Structure 1
Amino acid sequence: HYVLLAALGQRRTLSVVVGPRTRLILPTRIARILRPAVDAPPLYNISLSPPQPYPDSGVAPAGWKRERGALLTDVEVSFADGNRHVHVAIPPRGNWMMVAYGLLAVAMVQLVVLGVLGLAFLSSADWGGPGLRRSVRSFRFRPTITLAMFFIIPMLGFTVWGLSRADQENQRARDAAVSAVLHNAVLSAGGMLREPPADMTDDLSALAARLESDLFLYRGGRLAAASQPLLAELGLVEPLQDAASFQRLSLGDELELTRQGTAYVTPIRVGYRVVLAGPPQSVGVLATPQLASNWQRQQIQRDLSVLLLLAVVVGVGAALLGAQLAARGLSRPVADLERSAMAVGAGRPLPAPLAPPLEFERVFAAFSEMAADIRASQVALESARQRTAAVLAQVATGVVALEPGGRILLANQRAREVLGASLVEGENLRAVLPRDGGSIAEVVALFEQSGAQSNAREVEQGGRVLRLQLARLAGEPGGVVLAIDDLTDVTRAARVLAWGEMAQQVAHEIKNPLTPIRLGVQHLRRVERERPDALPGALEEITTRILAEIERLDTIARAFSRFAAPGDENTLLEPVDVAELTREVTALYRLGGDDFTVELSGAELVRPSRPDELREVLGNLIENARNAGARRLQIAVGNGAVRLVDDGKGIPGELLDRVFEPRFSTNTSGAGLGLAIVRRLVEGWGARIEIQSAPGRGTSVTIRWPA
C-alpha cells in the first residue's frame, strides 16, 4: 500500500491510501480511463440480485460447483436495503487452445532442428557447384515449392482478411455501443438536457451512474458540465469540443458522430450527440467516452493467429511430403518424354517408351501426333519459303522483311537492285546499305518507334526518288515489311507533263492580249493609208490600248513566275507577330472611304513564317474578298490561326475543291493563280489553309499553324 499523510492544520490530517495493483479488484469507470487496460480477461464476474424484503434466512453458502467448465457460487449477503444474492462466476481457461499452443511449440522445435541440419548440409556443399543448381531445378523441388506456396499464400491471405474483418466488426460494435449509451442517455434525461439548470453536475452524475458511463455536456462548443469533475480537473476532458466534430454537428446536417479521443491515457472512442438544436453559440452536445481496447478481441486475434500458424506449419509439412510422393510418380514418364523430345529435335525416330501410366497415355499419344505434325510442318514451311522467294523474285517492287532492330529476314532481287546492296539475310539493314542510304534506315527506325501499323514516305538516294511503304508484321516477335518503288522516271515524266501544261497555260494567257495588239497595229496602218489626217487621234487611242494589254501581259508573266517559284526556300523561317503584321496590311483598307470595310480583332500570335510572304498572302485574300463583292471583311487572329470572313457572293459547293487549282477562277479577269500561290506559300511555312463558302453567305478562309 502507498500511504500519504498531510497536516492540514487545526489538528486535522489528510490520509490517502493507495492499495496495490491487483486484478482481484475490478477497476471502476474512472480507473479504466486513468490506467491502461489490462490485456487479459477478468478473473471473475460478480452480479447482485435485487434486494429482498425478508430477513436473513441464515442459509450457509452452497459452495462451488462446475457448470459447462465454469465455477459458480451463490452467497446471500445482508445490505441496508435488504438481503441480496451475490453471484460469482469464474470462466474456464480454454484447454483446447493450450493443446494448440503445445502442438505449435513442438512443430517449431522440429522446424528449428530441420533448419540447423539444412544449414549444416549447405555449409558443406559447393554453393556454385552444378549439383546444387541441378537440385534447385529438379522436378521434385519445383512441385514441392509449388504445393507449399499453393497452401501458404491463400492461408496468409485468409489470415489477413480474417483479422481485418474482425477489427472492422469490433470497431462497428464499439461505435454502436457508444451510440446506444448516448441514445439511452437522451431517453433517460427527459427534458433535463433541453432546458439544463445553471449547475447540473449532480444531475449528470446521477444519469451517468444509471448508465454506467461518463457523460459530458457542451454548450456552444464549451464544456458546461461533467459527470466526473475529477476528469475535467485532471485535463482528461477537452474543455473545448473538437473543432471538426463541432463544425459537423453545429453547421452540418449530422446529429451524431464518433471519433478517436486525444486527451486520454488509454485509447478512447468519444461519441457526440446533439441534444439541443440552435445556433452554433448555443447548440447543446452530449458526449461520452468509451474504451477503445477490448481484451476479448485481442484474445481472439491471438488465438486465431496461433491456429493459422499451426495450420500453415502442418500444411507445409503435408505439402512437402505430398510433393515428394507426387514427384517420384511423375518423374519416370517425364523422363520418357524428355528422351522423345530430344529425339525429335535431333531428327531421330522416337524411342519406344515403357508402358506409361494411365493418365499419361493420351499425353504420349498426343506427343507422337505432335512429332508427326512437326515433321509435316517443317516440310510445308520449307516449301512455302521456296514459293515465296520465287514469287518475290518476279515482283517489280523491292521487298525487305525485317526483324525488330533492323535484322534482315528476307529480301528479293529487286530490292537489292534498287538499294544497291547485297541485303544478306541475318545482317543489319543499316550496316549493308550504302553511305547515302542512311535515311532509309532512319525511316524504318522511326516507324518501329511510332507504333503505327503502316506508313508511306518518299526519300532521295543517289539522285533517285524512292517511295517507301512500311507495314508492321502481326504477332510476336513482330517486325516490319518494307516495300520500295523507284519513282525517278515517274517523277521526271510527271515534271515534264507539268511543265508542258504550264507552257500551254502561258501560251493561252499570252494569246489573249496579243490579239488586240495585232488588231490595233493593223488599224493604225489602215488609218495611215486611208485617212492620214485622223492618224494622231487613232495613234493616241491605239497606243493607250496597246500599253494596257502590255501591262496585262506583264501581270500574267509575273503571276506565272510567282507560281513557278513562290517561296524563298533559302530564307529561314522566323517568328513573326502575325497580329501586328495583319494590322499593318489592313491599315489602308480600314482607313479607306469606299463601301469595303475591314474589322480586325484578336490577341498576340507569334508563329514561324516569312514576313513578305505573309503580307502577300493577306493582300491576295483581301483582294479576293473585294472582287467577290464583299462589303465587310472580319479578320480574327488567335488560337494558332488567322481567319478571314467576308459577306461576298460566295462560292458554289461543287467548285470549292477546285479553288486552289492553277488557272481556276470564279472571275472573268485574272490568271487564276492567286489562291494556288497562296496555298504553296502557306504550306512552305508548315501551316495549312482551309476554305468554307456557300452562295449568298460569303466565304471563310483560315490559315492554321500547327500547335
Structure 2
Amino acid sequence: MQARHAASDYAALEGQRGGIQIAFAMVYLALALLVLLSAVAVGFWFANRLVEPISRLVVASERLRDGDLTARVEETASHDEIGALSRAFNRMAGQLEEQRGELLGANLQLDRRRRFTEAVLGGVTSGVLGLDAEGKVTLANGAAMNLLDSRGENLVGQELERAVPEMQPVLLEARMRPGRIIEGEIHLGSGETARDLLVRVARVSDAPEPAGAMTGHSEFDRERAGFVVTFDDISALKSAQRMAAWADVARRIAHEIKNPLTPIQLSAERLRRKYVHEITTEPEIFERCTDTIIRQVRDIGRMVDEFSSFARMPAPVLRQENLNEIARQAVFQQQLAAPGISITFSLPDQPVLIYCDRAQIAQALVNIIKNATEAIGTREKMDGAGGQITVRVRVDKEGRIILSVMDNGCGLPREIRRRLTEPYVTTREKGSGLGLAIVRKIAEDHGARISLQDLAETEEALPPGFDGIGANVQIIFPAEICEAPGHAVNGRESDMSGKDISPRVAGISRQVQDGA
C-alpha cells in the first residue's frame, strides 16, 4: 500500500519535472540578464568617468580655436594623465590669453605712435618720404605731396627714381655710401612751378642685425634696409641770397659810379655853353657829341638811382591810404609820360582802404606800368598793334585786394618767368633788371606777393579791345592789410599777413633787410 502511494507520488513528481525545469531556466535567464545589464551599466558609468574629462578638453579646445582664450577645463585632484593634461591645457590657455593681451597692448601702442608720427609729419614743412629696400615709396607726408605736386595715392607704391628722376643721383650715392647722410640739391619743374629742393637721404634698417654679424655690413641688414628722404624748398632762400648779394653789388656800383657822373655832366654842359659859338669847324659834330655825353650821363644816372633805390629800400611807413587814389595818380603820371599808349583804369566805386606806404606802392605800380609800355613797344615793332594798358583794383571772395596791370604787349617769357623778379634778370637790351625786383621787395615788405601771368592764362576778365596776347602782373594783398598793423600777439611781432613770427625769425628778417 505504501509502495503504491510512493509510486504514485513519484509518477506525479515525474510529470511536474519539465515545468520545474522550465521555471528554473527562466529564473536563471532572468538573473543572468539582470547581471548583464548591471555589468553594462557599470561599464557605461566607468566609461563616462573616463570620457568626460576628454570631452571637456575637446569642448575647451573648440572654444580656444574660435578665439575664446578664457576657456578652461575643471582640474581634478588626481595625479593621473588626465589631470596632468587638464592642468597643461589650462596653463597653455592662460599663456595664450596673456600673450594676446600683450600683443593687443603693443598694437595699440604702435597705433598711437603711428598716429603721433603722422601728426608730426603732417605738421612739418619739410617733405618726408619713406622708402623700402627696393626704393618704393611707403610713406609720404602732405608737404612731400605738395612739393612734388603728386597725390598721395599716386606716389605711394611707386619707385621714387621713376616718379622723381631728379632724385636718382642722390639715392644712388646713398646706396653706395651706407651709414652716411647724403645731401644734394635738385631742380624740379619749369616756369612758375619750378623750385629748388635740398634733399637729404638717410639709410635705415627695418630690423636689428643678428648676433655675430658685422655692424653696418651684414647681408641681412642690406636686404632689410630702407631709406628716409627729407627735402625742403630752398627756392625762396636762394632767391633771398641772390637778392642780398645783388643789393650789395648795387650799393657798390652806385657808390663807385655816381661820384664821377656829376663832374662829367657839368664839364660837358660847360663845354657846350662856352665853346658852342667859338667852334667854326663842324659845330654840328661838337653839339651832337656834347649832347650824347650829357644824355648818356643822365641815363647812367637814372640807372644808378635804380641801383640806390634797390640797395637802400627804406622800411615802409604804414598809413591808411586809398588804393584807388594811388592807382589813379600813377595812371595819370604814366599817361603824360607815354601819350601814344592808351592807359586806363578800372576801379571800384567804394574806396579801397589799406595800410601801406603810399610812395612805395606808387613806385611799384609805376615800375609795372613802365615795363608794360616797354613790352608794348616791343610788340609794336613786330606787328604794329596799338598799345593798351588797364590798371584794375578789385577785392576777391577771400577778401584779398588785387592790384592788376594788364597790357597787350609781347607777354612774358615762360622759360625765365620765375626769375623775372630777381635783380638784373631782364629780356631787354637796355633794361637794368631792377624794376620787378623793386616791385617784389615792396610787395613782400607789405606782406603781399607778386604774380606774373600771360593774358591767356589769367582767370580775370579781359578789358575790351584785348586780344589775349600780353601780360597780367598782379600785386595780391592779404585781407589783413585793411587792419591797423603793428600790433603784438602774445608778446611777439606780427607780420602783415597776421601770422605770428618768433623773435628769432623777426631778427633774421631785419638782418636780411639791413644787409640788402
TM interval, shorter chain, is: 0.3 to 0.5
TM-score for the superposition, normalised by structure 1: 0.29
Which structure: larger Rg? 1
Greater share of helix residues, 1 or 2?
Answer: 2
* Relative contact order, higher structure (CA 8 A, sep 6+): 2
TM-score for the superposition, normalised by structure 2: 0.38
Greater share of strand residues, 1 or 2?
Answer: 1
